[in-house]
Structure 1
Amino acid sequence: MSESTADNLIEFLSEIPFFSEVTSQSLSKLCKNSQKASYFKNDVIVNKNEVGNSMYAIIIGKVKVHDKKHIYGTLSSGDCFGEYALIDNETRSASITALEKTEVLIIEREQFLDLMINDSGFAQGILAVMIKRHRELDTIQERLANSKQDLEIANHKMSGLINGAMDAIIMFNGEFRIVLTNPSAHTLLENEDVLQRNVLFFFDDDSANLIEDIVKSGLSDNTSINKYLPRIVKVIGSNNTETLNEGTISKYGSGSETFFTLILRNIEERLIAEDKINLLTKQTEYLEEEIKELTSSYGIIAENKAMKQVLNLIQQVAKTDATVLIHGETGTGKELIARAIHKESNRNDKTLIRINCGAIPANLIESELFGHKKGAFTGASEERKGRFLLADHGTIFLDEIGEMPIELQPKLLRVIQEGEFDPVGSSETMKVDVRIIAATHRNLLEFSKQGKFREDLYYRLNVFPIEVPALRDRGNDLHLIAEEMLGQFSKKLNKPIANLTDEDKVLLSAYHWPGNVRELQNLIERAVIISKNKSIQWHTIIPNSSIHQDVNLQNNESYILTIKELNALEKENILKALKQTKWKISGKNGAAQLLQIPPTTLTSRIKALGIERPI
């Protein structure tokens, strides 16, 4: 199609009432895939009862609309027929036959619907014309007095387009009086009786001024308006409900018959969702940055041989989908290990979902893990997705797995073995692809022997065990972690702190650290808060450290320990040896060998000092 031919077709279509409100740019797209066809006198173009899929615009010539010999009317150059074939699959109610040589432009349904979906300007123009037609039905009825059935069908279809729209459609005249609305507009305006009311009364001042300026500008010249509102407008309903909306405004007609169509879409839920996504994104970025700031080894400081072995195990297992069981005392950083495994895995672009099995009531944990259907139990007012479904194609971290109720453990075993589960109150089986990492401070094997944990579940979880050493067993790591935390809290609280001295390190090493890294973090934060003149009195901060406060192992050779202080030091030293050997007293690698004393002597001292193995 030549450029001049295309321009002529665009000009021709713009003069057809059906496309009168469509911009030239949109009409150009329409012309690209449209085809011309020629018919001679008495050629049938459309047969009654045929299912049509095209609209016809008469370029030259004349046709008659008829049912057999009964003629409803004639159409000539600039007229069109078959519009409804663009939006339905109904059969045609009349036949169309050429009265002379006739040339038409054929517009197919697929092309029309594609433009309605992808070209908002085209859609708005068509909709404006349909609304105008809706108001001109009386005139149409007079012109088609002998075609009542066609009129009813046309009215039904156009009303369906307007009333079925989810966006609010408000048509008003040049005096801002509302002349037509759809049900969605009634909902937005919180009023079903708005005809002849001033449309500006339903907007806040800024939004009303915006719409008023656009309308007055459109009234001052004869150019068409078909544009997006330049900013979000606030609608105030009759019940004073305020909503934020985006929209478009279009104009048709001229002079006293000028009308404007305002189409509004409530974006409150979208804005809330976007805010939530932005917040979660910022939180994720913050957490990732926090981990990066600690060290380059997933936030894990590791000079100690045992911790280096943990990092090595992370590297070995991360790229697999093997289930991992992390064991260690409370506060040793088991979650950090889980995050490191996920970060190094092939699932690192998906979600890591964490759930603390010991922090959720037993009657709610099943719903938390597997979700529930609406009405599944009292209080289940809506359907909820469980953590396993949220972790699909990602990783789930089951912290404190030893606290999971035993009656729920078979369901977890089924997820591990089959990758499926049933939400609470549902018979529908859900399939998931989840990598499972579990953690505990308990001896699960001992628990299973006591009937508190399923033995088969223990072995399914214990595919790849990782033992995280206690802080007291990590040697110089304790001082490195402490110094790192001192720097962080000093910066955060804007309180400069001097570096740890050798005496400070002795005090830190002498403490048992039952709460491990978490306890160290809390203690250091407290120490920085109460510090004075860049100095921290560690003997007042570290629990049970008073016996060390005047002991300087390098310089104070004249200090004499009391028997009480000696016993305390001995007890603490024996406890450290027992912990390191996992309470093995005699034999190779036992505490007695470590202390270089006979096992019988060690047993006697344990009894005399009142040392008891914790449960």
Structure 2
Amino acid sequence: MAKATTNKLIEFLSEIPFFSEVSNESLKHLCIESEKASYLKNEVIVNKNEVGNSMYAIISGKVKVHDKKHIYGTLENGECFGEYALIDNETRSASVTAIEKTDVLIIGRQQFLDLMANDSGFAQGILSVMIKRHRELDTIQERLASSKQDIEIASNKMSGLINGAMDAIIMFNSDFRIILTNPSANTILQNDDVLQRNVLFFFDDDSANLIEDIVKSGIEDKSSINKYLPNIIKVIGSDNSETLNEGTISKYGSGSETFYTLILRNIEERLIAEDKINLLTKQTQYLEEEIKELTSSYGIIAENKAMKQALNLVQQVAKTDATVLIHGETGTGKELIARAIHKESKRNDKPLIRINCGAIPTNLIESELFGHKKGAFTGATVDRKGRFMLADKGTIFLDEIGEMPLELQPKLLRVIQEGEFDPVGSSETIKVDVRIITATHRDLLEFSKEGKFREDLYYRLNVFPIDVPVLRDRGNDLHLIAEEMLEQFSKKLNKPMIPLSEADKTLLSTYHWPGNVRELQNLIERAVIVSQNGEINWHAIIPNKAGTQEANFQNNKQRILTIKEFNALEKENILKALKHTKWKISGKNGAAELLQIPPTTLTSRIKALGIERPI
């Protein structure tokens, strides 16, 4: 239709009561889907007992509604007939014939139903009109007595539409008296007998005041109302149960016949979900701050030269997009290094996605990394985004890269070289912008020579290598880290902080720490848990017994003790002997005999080391 013609039809339809509550935008859609027709004088438009599938709106002319010679009434410009054919496929209850040349707009049932399903504004307008008509059934029954059955059927269908809605629908008049509710409304009101009760009694003060103000403002300026309620509506049921709802309010009618439709939707589950998300977000922020406050070096304590060198490399490479390969034994803190690189990079406002290549079954790792399409394999019931897609514009950290299956390595090489991949079961190529950081405890070059790792992939990953030193080679860092962990776990477990003595530090230094910082963390936590009376028995905590002692001796035989460490070790050994002999120094079974040194030498060492017998 031409634009001018469409505008005239919109204006025409807006004057028809059936469409009086429908917006112009929705009426425009209706005009586009409808068609015009002309009928000559005495030409039959609708035959009684004929199955109807359209509604007719009279643009010009005049028609009569009749059954043979009996005339029920006449209709003219701006009136319509056949509305019920829009919602049922029953036969016509009367015939309609043109009294003079008549132009009509024909609205098909399917077009109407499509608009009801897809245009919420159209549906709400029609719903308001139909509810009003529902209250005018008595009048319609008097005027069209022979159509009573058709009216009842149409009313039941509309009631089904209202009653089947999951949202609560409450209709009330200008006196705030409830005139209609659906089952969902009765549920939140906790009452099946609410008709003629004041609707405001079911809201808290704030919600009642809001609805009252909206209604009164509409009455005063006689304006239409069709708006989203700006605040959450708290409904208080008859049993004092409370629900939180969002909603809309609309007005129809005029003068003394003004009614309001309040539609409410329970949002408590959504609010609970939002609260959980907010809580998790705050917890994440708190944990990030806690890590930040631990030290000034990304959560890494470093006085050792080798560790400082590793952190210096982090600073150098972070601002670039170069691929980084972090090498170090298990538990040395490779992930902390990766997080430090991401934090100092220009991508730090985007996600850091971590995946342990050695912890995922071989048959699932490709899907985990690159995603899959629905039906790609058994169990793939929905599309899934892979970790590379989630890391787009950010960083991905591939831990234990040496465990990646050989057959999957070319796909990773393609991502590094081309920045693209194909999800499992898809022919679509996905482009991503991802910074790649990898880590391993293996010698990947040796692995590649053995045919267990692609050599070309190794060289692409090893653009910027960072070696993380083992804990046993970090000197005093071991004691600093241990003391920091002691303080943290003491606070967490609500136990007194027990500082390390020189003897404790010496004992820690003599252990090989095959599990590095992770093992230290586990042992410190265990030590704080089992501590009693302000003491920790480190001999019971640190596995320095039997074969372990021999292994530690072999691993530490090249290490030279400082005089401080040596004196602490000697002091601890003498104390053991004195406690064993109940502080008997000389004579048979005395500490001097146990230590195989002269009593005078032992007495001298006791004084020199400041050993005092406890009272």
TM-score, shorter chain, exceeding 0.5: yes
User: Does residue 188 in structure 1 map to residue 163 in structure 2?
Assistant: no
User: Does residue 573 in structure 1 map to residue 556 in structure 2?
Assistant: yes
Residue 105 (structure 2) aligned to one of 141, 150, 158: 150
The equivalent residue for 1:199 is 182
The equivalent residue for 1:274 is 274
The equivalent residue for 1:527 is 527
The 1:81–1:352 alpha-carbon spacing in structure 2 relative to 1, beyond 3 Å, is: closer
The equivalent residue for 1:381 is 381
SS in structure 1 at match of 2:339: helix
The equivalent residue for 2:4 is 52
The 1:278–1:400 alpha-carbon spacing in structure 2 relative to 1, beyond 3 Å, is: same
How far residue 257 of structure 1 moved from its aligned partner, in angstroms, is: 4.5
The equivalent residue for 1:450 is 450
Conserved 8 A contact 2:26-2:119: no
List aligned pairs for 1:422-571, cutoff 5 A. 422-544=422-544, 570-571=553-554
Whole-Å separation in 1 of the counterparts to 2:263 and 2:116: 11
Conserved 8 A contact 2:35-2:105: no
Which AA in structure 1 matches 2:360? I
The 1:64–1:435 alpha-carbon spacing in structure 2 relative to 1, beyond 3 Å, is: closer
Which AA in structure 1 matches 2:261? T
Deviations 1:334-377 (A, max 9, x none): 00000000000000010000000011111111000000000110
Deviations 1:220-265 (A, max 9, x none): 99566555444257999xxxxx998522022222588544334456
Q: Which moved more, 1:387-396 or 1:270-279?
A: 270-279
The 1:475–1:251 alpha-carbon spacing in structure 2 relative to 1, beyond 3 Å, is: same
Whole-Å separation in 2 of the counterparts to 1:178 and 1:320: 70
How far residue 398 of structure 1 moved from its aligned partner, in angstroms, is: 0.2
Deviations 1:85-134 (A, max 9, x none): 58766799599xxxxxxxxxxxxxxxxxxxxxxxxxxxxxxxxxxxxx99
The equivalent residue for 2:232 is 231
The equivalent residue for 2:354 is 354
The 1:371–1:94 alpha-carbon spacing in structure 2 relative to 1, beyond 3 Å, is: same
Deviations 1:478-517 (A, max 9, x none): 0000000011001111101221110010001000000010
The equivalent residue for 2:327 is 327
Whole-Å separation in 1 of the counterparts to 2:440 and 2:164: 57
Conserved 8 A contact 1:134-1:158: no
Which AA in structure 1 matches 2:329? E
Conserved 8 A contact 1:307-1:469: yes
User: Does residue 367 in structure 1 map to residue 367 in structure 2?
Assistant: yes
Which AA in structure 1 matches 2:321? D
Residue 117 (structure 2) aligned to one of 163, 167, 170: 163
Whole-Å separation in 2 of the counterparts to 1:243 and 1:409: 54
List aligned pairs for 1:370-409, cutoff 5 A. 370-409=370-409
TM-score between the two structures when normalised by the length of structure 2: 0.62
SS in structure 1 at match of 2:433: coil
The 1:266–1:463 alpha-carbon spacing in structure 2 relative to 1, beyond 3 Å, is: farther
The 1:511–1:569 alpha-carbon spacing in structure 2 relative to 1, beyond 3 Å, is: closer
Conserved 8 A contact 1:52-1:91: no
Q: Which moved more, 1:512-521 or 1:286-295?
A: 286-295
SS in structure 2 at match of 1:379: coil
The equivalent residue for 2:172 is none
- Stretches of structure 1 that go unaligned for 5 or more consecutive residues are 1-48, 66-72, 74-79, 96-132, 237-241, 548-563, 578-615
Which AA in structure 2 matches 1:375? G
Whole-Å separation in 2 of the counterparts to 1:497 and 1:184: 67
SS in structure 2 at match of 1:260: strand
Conserved 8 A contact 1:471-1:516: yes
Question: Cα RMSD over matched residues?
Answer: 4.7
How far residue 282 of structure 1 moved from its aligned partner, in angstroms, is: 2.5
The 1:492–1:162 alpha-carbon spacing in structure 2 relative to 1, beyond 3 Å, is: same
The 1:441–1:254 alpha-carbon spacing in structure 2 relative to 1, beyond 3 Å, is: same
Whole-Å separation in 2 of the counterparts to 1:159 and 1:211: 37
Deviations 1:519-574 (A, max 9, x none): 00110011001101222111110111589xxxxxxxxxxxxxxxx98x77752423
The equivalent residue for 1:253 is 253
SS in structure 2 at match of 1:253: strand
Deviations 1:192-230 (A, max 9, x none): xxxx98425544345876696679996999566555444
TM-score between the two structures when normalised by the length of structure 1: 0.62
Deviations 1:423-480 (A, max 9, x none): 0010111000000000001111111111111111111100000000000010000000
SS in structure 1 at match of 2:438: strand
* Higher-Rg member (1/2): 2
Whole-Å separation in 1 of the counterparts to 2:370 and 2:337: 24
Whole-Å separation in 1 of the counterparts to 2:217 and 2:418: 71
